Amino acid sequence: MVQPANRELERLVIRDTLTPLYNRRHFVNALEERLSRLERHDAPCVLVFVDVNAMKQINDSFGHTAGDAALVHIARLIGASIRSNDVAARVGGDEFALLLDGLDEEGAALKTKQLEKLISETDCYCGDNRLPLSASFGWTSLRRGDTDFAALARADMAMYESKRRFSTEFE
């Protein structure tokens, strides 16, 4: 039986300090495990990067407490929208990453569109202020022979392409 103090220590090591999601360290370990599983069993998995749009403007307009509320809100939406065998983590200030087991390219496109819609259409408030939330998504299927760095770089590049489209729409 795991002692309560050990359980809390384990939580602190693998969880993000702000959101209910995993942290970057745990995510990279899970990614390495998925890559190993792909090599052994050809088990498909999609890596998704999520970047909150206009986070600086939210912080500047409503304060950092509002920015934190936005991150927690988005983390909860993401966590509630994935399956128990998937992994969601906050990997940077306003960046999240997901590992979605068993999805192909079509499934990844559908899932990211669902999450994008959910984030933009679900109200988030900090005090009386409704926060204007949206996110940009990029994803890639894990490939045989991938390193964690290569897969992360592809997903990151795809997310930045999505971010460029978002920025262009609102100029």
Percent pLDDT > 70 in the chain is 96
pLDDT of residue 168: 64
SS3 at position 95? strand
148: Cβ contacts below 8 Å, ≥ 6 apart: 28, 31, 32, 35
**How does the average pLDDT of the chain come out, rounded?**
93
Residue 112: is its pLDDT beyond 60? yes
Distance CA 165, CA 159 (A): 10
Other CB atoms within 10 A of residue 82 CB:
17
pLDDT tens per residue across span 59-82: 999 999 999 999 999 999 999 999
Encoded tokens for 93 = 């200030």
pLDDT of residue 7: 76
Q: Which helix (H) or strand (E) holds 24?
A: helix 24-41
Give the model's confidence band at 169: pLDDT under 50 very low, under 70 low, under 90 confident, else very high.
Answer: low
Average pLDDT over residues 88-116: 96
The whole-angstrom distance between residue 55's C-alpha and the CA centroid of its chain comes to: 15
